[in-house]
Structure 1
């Protein structure tokens, strides 16, 4: 609209009638949803938008992808693949005047990966104090790009030599990339996966990660012979699963993060002729889906001493002997013992005797002999067993003991 004015002071006319002018902006290509990377099988829409005016348009696309869109304002890709990757431009042509067109839009790049994303799960802590809370974190490429998360417990499946996955309570499609488990007491395995879009696209499951408990009051248990954390190379070590179950496997999580099964399993016993690669965390899984307590095994070079310490937690008030040993000499004298890197005893008899263990004795121990030092091992101290847990443990193992005793009849 406009108006005129003249004179001093200025005299103004009335405003003119209003005239509407429609302007047509440049076309813009948009992606819906606008994620920086799309994975094979996801659904994506490439849209040409021309802002301003109420003109009706025909659309034209230009792309270097292997699949060209139809001349519509949007191109919906139901199941994307790398063939859809490329740069997309569009322009509009007036339906009422076909010779009048917009300029070409700027290019938008669509990247479709044929690699399937695999989330990475972390657990904290890895070793449990009984009843502690455990936090699971699930990480996916491009974490801000619309992912929701699914959380599962791993259930051993010995027949398939694998595990099945059981959804955790309220573990379906959570918005947060973390999940907290309260009151965890036993060794357990977990996996996660992620999903996004409509229809929802799901990633593969993550590799399983474990939280380990040294608690020996689960329905399954693991014993190690000889009963010590540290071993020399070429030692013969037996790991035996115990409990009221018929099928077992012993699993190992090695220092390099690999999960594997025992290669020499005879019945419920895994036999190892140790090498450095056998260092790791070990536990038993039963055919009924039970996990045993977990133990650390460390394999040392033959030219250094080893600390002889128990693989399972020591009960408060009990006595424990720690000693130092060489491959060629089991009994050493004038040995230095360290607790959490602090020298606590120089014993001419080569052993450290704690007559009544307390919680303050928990920690890392190592020994030193003739200038050579062992690796350090953690000694865990647990509270005194209450009567109910003892009764529960005995009741759980009675059928197993009866079956063992039956073998001696006659």
Structure 2
């Protein structure tokens, strides 16, 4: 038995007699030296629920890495592991990407010097496309006043911006010059017409389905 302080590939063999008769070499065993640098895995964006088709980056960061060049080993939901020079995995998310991700770093300059595995982070991907819905505080537009429209996304998740349309769904989104912005997800409109909305987030933008139409009429007009 021996004690080793360096990482590397080790093997042994036995010998006896004079002259020495040697056994065959043992199978090799790899000893890795654990370094103090910590691996941390993160999601960008870090939304708790991702929808199929969104662009997601899984990133591995090594603390106090300095000028050290690292190679990265990943543990992914499909149970595969593998080395990569890149510190990130770019995904066009699908349901099969759901699961836990971990990473570790391997020092390129010092063979067999590695970090511990990072804590796992969980990616949850839904195959259901999110839906937008629109509502109004009134279907009748008072003279000289506005009607407040509200757009919301189901299931409720963070990160959404809202896009508003009047007339046809093929039209360009309304600009801030055409509406009064009350809050994120709420606008005031002063023109009658048919209105739609939808949510979008990320870069490139991932859109929800369009909402149903809601019709706003002026006071005194028949439906």
Q: Same fold (TM over 0.5)?
A: yes
Structure 2 residue aligned with 1:301: none
Structure 1 residue aligned with 2:209: 204
* Aligned counterparts of 2:196 and 2:212: Cα–Cα separation in 1: 6
Structure 1 residue aligned with 2:131: 118
* Aligned counterparts of 2:82 and 2:135: Cα–Cα separation in 1: 42
> Are 1:73 and 2:78 matched, yes or no?
no
> Are 1:29 and 2:41 matched, yes or no?
yes
Displacement of 1:48 in angstroms is 0.6
* Aligned counterparts of 2:40 and 2:215: Cα–Cα separation in 1: 49
Question: Is this contact kept in 1: 2:165–2:195, CA < 8 A?
Answer: yes
Structure 1 residue aligned with 2:54: 42
Structure 1 residue aligned with 2:70: 57
CA deviation profile, 1:317-344 (whole Å, cap 9, x unmatched): xxxxxxxxxxxxxxxxxxxxxxxxxxxx
> Which TM-score applies when normalising by structure 1?
0.41
CA deviation profile, 1:59-109 (whole Å, cap 9, x unmatched): 1011224887762311011x2111111100111111122322111111100
* Aligned counterparts of 2:48 and 2:116: Cα–Cα separation in 1: 26
> Are 1:179 and 2:187 matched, yes or no?
yes
Alpha-carbon distance change, 97 to 70 in structure 1, aligned in 2, over 3 angstroms: closer
1:291-370 mapped onto 2 (5 Å cutoff): 293-294=222-223
**Which of 102, 109, 114 is matched with 1:96 structurally?**
109
Matched residue of 1:83: which SS? helix
* Aligned counterparts of 1:103 and 1:29: Cα–Cα separation in 2: 12
* Aligned counterparts of 2:81 and 2:194: Cα–Cα separation in 1: 46
* Aligned counterparts of 2:216 and 2:184: Cα–Cα separation in 1: 20
Structure 2, unmatched stretches of 5+, are: 1-34
* Aligned counterparts of 2:189 and 2:123: Cα–Cα separation in 1: 39
Question: Is this contact kept in 2: 1:65–1:87, CA < 8 A?
Answer: no
* Aligned counterparts of 1:204 and 1:154: Cα–Cα separation in 2: 17
Alpha-carbon distance change, 135 to 67 in structure 1, aligned in 2, over 3 angstroms: farther
* Aligned counterparts of 2:203 and 2:79: Cα–Cα separation in 1: 24
Displacement of 1:164 in angstroms is 5.3
Structure 1, unmatched stretches of 5+, are: 1-22, 156-162, 217-292, 295-410
1:174-323 mapped onto 2 (5 Å cutoff): 176-182=184-190, 184=191, 186=192, 188-213=193-218, 215-216=220-221, 293-294=222-223
Structure number having the greater helix percentage: 1
> Which TM-score applies when normalising by structure 2?
0.71
Structure 2 residue aligned with 1:87: 100
Bigger Rg, structure 1 or 2: 1
Matched residue of 2:211: which SS? coil
Matched residue of 2:96: which SS? helix
Question: Is this contact kept in 1: 2:39–2:62, CA < 8 A?
Answer: yes
CA deviation profile, 1:234-277 (whole Å, cap 9, x unmatched): xxxxxxxxxxxxxxxxxxxxxxxxxxxxxxxxxxxxxxxxxxxx
1:108-147 mapped onto 2 (5 Å cutoff): 108-141=121-154, 145-147=158-160
Structure 1 residue aligned with 2:28: none
